[in-house]
């Protein structure tokens, strides 16, 4: 299939510095966190700093911290998100205001030393027309993608971590008519949509006592009571796939979600694995998916750092199992 989506760099005339918390612990990383072109920042166990500007990960020469400073940095960054990081809780994940995600792991869990991973949101709102003008796809492909939204197809966007699933999904949702109500459910609220009626729900982790967690499955059930015209799950990672498929099979057309998969041919196995977590056998899962999902759009990030849509498929039954058929 000849189809290409190339994600343009985040910079340019419309880019602006990213909002970063004003706190001393952030200062050593501020130039990279505020850069609108940077998508990821990493501090490795050896104290080295790496960043990704959308074209692959590169080391920052001359930047380093010792083991004690790396630990203090990780503890401080996690504290900014309201959580605690210490020997008793050596792994933590938080979201700062503005959507910056910070994950940290202390030794000895991180064998080589403290490891910090920071995911940075874009500084603009993705727009399907803008992606087309940047050469992301031709007019025919743009019409095709917009047609999925206008036709109220339930769309599943698939790809690996960092492939651009959220960006593409947000651009598609920007085409939803303004009189419709979009309810989005995410582990970490990242979707930013150019739409006047967007309700955002975010899962909550348990507190230090291990209580208070609100998982995606619970949020999905709550969202069904909010009369959504478009129901969106940022990423299905477990048993909530059952609730999503049930919802999309009961009149909630025009919904969407994302699932982690390395290729279109791996999507059936991935969905079967999620279905197993929800107590669904392969036969039941296949029939639910074929009935609920109208199109699967797969996006990949190549070795050169460029993100491309590599296929659009339709779920089909292959005997009693789930299969994929490329949409012409």
List domains and CATH numbers for the chain: 24-119 (3.30.450.90), 128-326 (3.40.50.300)
The predicted model gives 312-323 an average pLDDT of: 94
CB atoms within 10 A of CB 319: 9
End-to-end Cα, the chain, rounded Å: 9
pLDDT at 7 over 50: no
Contact 137, 171 (CB under 8 A): no
If pLDDT is split at 50, 70 and 90, which confidence band does 9 have? very low
d(CA 209, CA 202): 20
Contact 172, 34 (CB under 8 A): no
Per-residue confidence (pLDDT) for residue 305, from 0 to 100: 66
Count of Cβ atoms closer than 10 Å to residue 178 Cβ: 8
Average pLDDT over residues 8-27: 67
Per-residue model confidence as pLDDT tens digits over 136-175: 677 777 888 899 999 999 999 999 988 888 888 999 999 9
pLDDT of residue 13: 35
**Residue 107: exposure state from Cβ atoms within 10 A (0-12, 13-18, ≥19):** middle
Please state which of the ranges 9-13, 31-35, 307-311, 323-327 shows the lowest mean pLDDT: 9-13
pLDDT digits (tens, 9 = 90+) for 97-107: 777 999 999 99
Q: With a cut of 60, say whether residue 8 has pLDDT above it.
A: no
Instruction: Check if the beta carbon of residue 85 is closer than 8 Å to that of residue 74.
Output: yes
Say yes or no to pLDDT of 29 above 90.
Answer: yes
Residues 6+ apart with CB under 8 A from 165: 157, 158, 159, 235, 258, 299
Average pLDDT rounded to a whole number, residues 224-230: 93
Q: Is the model's pLDDT at 249 over the cut of 50? A: yes
pLDDT exceeds cutoff 50 at 14: no
- Listed in sequence order, the DSSP H helices in the chain are 30-33, 67-80, 128-133, 139-150, 165-173, 216-223, 240-248, 267-277, 282-292
Average pLDDT over residues 240-252: 84
Q: Identify whether 295 is preceded by a cis peptide bond (ω within 30 of 0).
A: no
pLDDT at 1: 34
Q: 326, 327, 322: which is closest to 271 by C-alpha? A: 322
């Amino acid at each position: 299939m000849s189809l290409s989506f190339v994600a343009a760099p985040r910079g340019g005339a419309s880019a602006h510095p990213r909002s970063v918390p004003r706190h001393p612990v952030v200062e050593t990383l501020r130039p990279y966190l505020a850069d609108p072109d940077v998508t990821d920042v990493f501090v490795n166990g050896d104290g080295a700093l790496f960043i990704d500007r959308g074209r692959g990960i590169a080391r920052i020469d001359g930047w380093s911290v010792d083991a004690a400073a790396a630990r203090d940095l990780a503890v401080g960054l996690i504290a900014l998100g309201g959580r605690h990081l210490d020997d008793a809780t050596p792994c933590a994940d938080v979201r700062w205001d503005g959507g910056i995600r910070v994950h940290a792991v202390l030794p000895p869990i991180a064998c080589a030393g403290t490891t910090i991973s920071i995911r940075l949101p874009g500084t603009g709102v993705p727009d399907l027309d803008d992606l087309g003008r940047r050469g992301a796809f031709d007019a025919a492909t743009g019409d095709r993608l917009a047609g999925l939204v206008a036709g109220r197809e339930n769309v599943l966007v698939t790809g690996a971590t960092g492939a651009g699933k959220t960006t593409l999904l947000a651009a598609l949702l920007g085409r939803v008519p303004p009189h419709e109500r979009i309810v989005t459910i995410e582990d970490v609220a990242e979707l930013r949509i150019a739409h006047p009626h967007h309700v955002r729900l975010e899962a909550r982790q348990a507190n230090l006592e291990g209580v208070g967690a609100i998982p995606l499955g619970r949020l999905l059930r709550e969202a069904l009571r909010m009369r959504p015209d478009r129901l969106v799950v940022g990423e299905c990672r477990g048993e909530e796939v059952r609730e999503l498929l049930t919802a999309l099979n009961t009149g909630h057309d025009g919904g969407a979600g994302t699932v982690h998969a390395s290729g279109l041919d791996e999507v059936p196995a991935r969905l079967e694995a999620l279905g197993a977590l929800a107590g669904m056998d392969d036969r039941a899962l296949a029939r639910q998916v074929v009935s609920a999902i109208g199109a699967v759009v797969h996006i990949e990030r190549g070795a050169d750092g460029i993100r491309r849509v590599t296929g659009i498929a339709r779920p089909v039954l292959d005997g009693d199992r789930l299969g994929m058929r490329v949409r012409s």
